[in-house]
Amino acid sequence: MVISLLSPIVTDIGGGYLFFKDVLRSALKKWPRRELVFQQIWMVSTQSASTTALAGFFVGAVMTVQFTMQIKQFGALGYLGGLSTSATIREIGPLLIAFMLSGKVGAFTSAELGTMRVTEQIDAIRCLGADPIQEIILPRFLGIVVSSFFLLAVGLFMSIFGGLFLGVLFAGINPEEYLRHVPAIVKWPSLAIGLFKCFTFAVLLGGICTYKGYTTTGGAVGVGKSVVNTAVSTMVAIVVADWITSVIAESAGIIYMSW
């Protein structure tokens, strides 16, 4: 029973690893055309910028509301901005915004590549003597990684404004007081941890959605299954990666403090 449950997971992990290795080998062998990469970056960025900014704004707003209810009874509202911003940048912000992108960017890319696979467009490219990994997968993978990283960073930036807005509206704290303790609590290591998580989640998102779309089988039904599997696999991988990066960040923080 356990083996039958773990077998598809192990197969997906192994297949994804081999696929990612092929993508890296293709990138090292020959860099894709810049116009293809820039086209993917522009498309992903323009389609997801508003969604990411809105999600980041409300993530910061929600964190401010939660911290307000906890620290108001201790008379420590002056630290609201620093605590809310630190928690949003280090943990909650990258995770929730990455979930939003996985449902939008990941599902769209998986459906696009899956449709190309079941309609034999990818096989046609191979018959013409071109490498589908080089011509189709690599530009999309690089475009998604670059765009998702900057979109996540923009979402984190917007979360600060969301927290500030709710701090003024909900907690009744003035903007200067809200921002006063942010530099004291949110230091460069916290910002580096947030950006490192953004990059890790972007790589996972780009790798999983292109892999699932490229390996689609079974016609239109298979495309639908690939989209669902992409969303589920991406979210699970992001949660696991969030735990791993948090452990690494805490270990690095301990070493940094010991210096």
State yes or no: pLDDT of 124 exceeds 80. yes
pLDDT in tens, 63-111: 888 888 778 777 777 788 888 888 888 877 888 888 888 888 888 889 9
With beta carbons less than 8 A apart as the criterion, state whether 230 and 107 touch. yes
Which residues lie closer than 8 Å to 182 by C-beta, 6 or more apart? 81, 82, 85, 160
CA trace torsion 214, 219, 225, 230 (10° rounding): 20
* Ranges of each domain in the chain: 37-258
pLDDT at 258: 43
Mean pLDDT of 225-240: 90
When pLDDT is cut at 50, 70 and 90, the band that residue 208 belongs to is very high
Tokens of 199: 């990059």
In the chain, alpha helices (H): 2-29, 34-71, 80-87, 93-101, 107-118, 121-127, 132, 138-169, 175-180, 182-185, 188-214, 219-258
197: its two tokens: 């998580």
- pLDDT tens digits along 29-62: 888 888 888 998 898 888 888 888 888 898 888 8
Q: Which residue has the tokens 């969030």?
A: 242
Query: How do residues 243-252 score in pLDDT, each as one tens digit?
Result: 888 888 777 6
Predicted pLDDT of residue 79: 81
Average pLDDT of the residues in 18-28: 86
Distance CA 216, CA 115 (A): 8
CA separation for the pair 42, 27 (Å, rounded): 20
pTM for this structure? 0.86
**Predicted pLDDT of residue 4:** 56
pLDDT tens digits for range 220-229? 888 988 988 8
What is d(CA 93, CA 86) in angstroms, rounded to the nearest whole number? 10
**Strand, helix or coil for residue 44:** helix
